[in-house]
Amino acid sequence: MSIKEIQAEIVDEFSLFDDWMQRYEYMIALGKSLPLIEEQYKIDRNLIKGCQSKVWVHAEMKDGKVVFTADSDAIITKGIIAILLRTLSNQSPKDVLEADMHYIDEIGLKEHLSPTRANGLVSMIKQLKLYALAFETQKNNMP
């Protein structure tokens, strides 16, 4: 599925909820299903700065796609990463780089995040795109 299709699917899922509580309960459930990072990658070098909770992200290339795994010590944060990873993992670096992330607004997430937390979200997106940029640059520099 393309990034746009997955985003539409997520927006659809979130539109079913009547209130914030259902939305957060769903996010907490998503957090529990996050593709967990391997213990060896849960190191300071993989920490994302700017989040109140700890967030580790690892990225690798598999068959031309970026595969992200992540973890956090806070469950709501894990839910947010799970949504981001569902959209951006297993996509080509170019598609990750070009992805429009405005669906975050549509699912009513950003408005419920305080500035410091929103910064965490922004940092996460930035970090995922930086990984994609690194892989894309690497590919283009190959002979």
Partner 1 sequence: MLQNWAYNSVLIYKNSHMKPLEKENIFDIQKIRSDFPILKRKVNGYPLVYLDNAASSQKPQVVIDAIVDYYSNYNANIHRGVHALSQEATDAYERSRNKIQKHLNAAKPYEIIFTSGTTHSINLVANGFTTLLKTGDEIIVSALEHHSNIVPWQMLCERTGAVLKVIPMNETGELVLEAYEKMLSDKTKLVFCNHISNALGTINPINQIIQKAHEAGAAVLIDGAQACAHLKPDVQVLDVDFYVASAHKMCGPTGVGLLYGKEKWLRKLPPYQGGGEMIAEVTFEKTTYADLPHKFEAGTPNICGDIVFGTAIDYLNQIGFDKIAAYENSLLETATRKLLEIEGLRIYGTSKQKTSVISFNLEGIHPYDVGTILDQLGIAVRTGHHCTQPIMDYYKIPGTVRASFSFYNTFEEIDRLVEAVKKAKQMLQ
Q: Give catalytic residue positions.
A: 51
Residue 73 in contact with partner 1, rule: CB under 8 A = yes
> Taking CB under 8 A as the rule, which mask of x and - marks residues 23-52 in contact with partner 1?
-xx--x-----------------------x
For partner 1, which stretch binds (CB under 8 A), given 8-16, 42-50, 67-75, 128-136?
67-75
Residue 18 in contact with partner 1, rule: CB under 8 A = no
Helix axes of 75-88 and 3-15: crossing angle, nearest 10 degrees: 140
Quote the radius of gyration of the chain (alpha carbons, Å): 15
Residue 74 in contact with partner 1, rule: CB under 8 A = yes
Tokens standing for 29? 């459930």
One residue of 42, 54, 65, 94 binding partner 1 per CB under 8 A: 54
Residues β-bridged to residue 71 = 56
Please say whether the beta carbons of 46 and 59 come within 8 A: no
Please say whether the beta carbons of 67 and 89 come within 8 A: yes
94-113 positions binding partner 1, by CB under 8 A? 112
| Residue with Cβ nearer partner 1 (80 or 85) | 80
Q: Give the sign of the dihedral formed by CA 44, CA 127, CA 118, CA 75.
A: negative
DSSP 53: S
Binding site for partner 1 (CB under 8 A): 20-21, 24-25, 28, 52-54, 73-77, 112, 114, 117
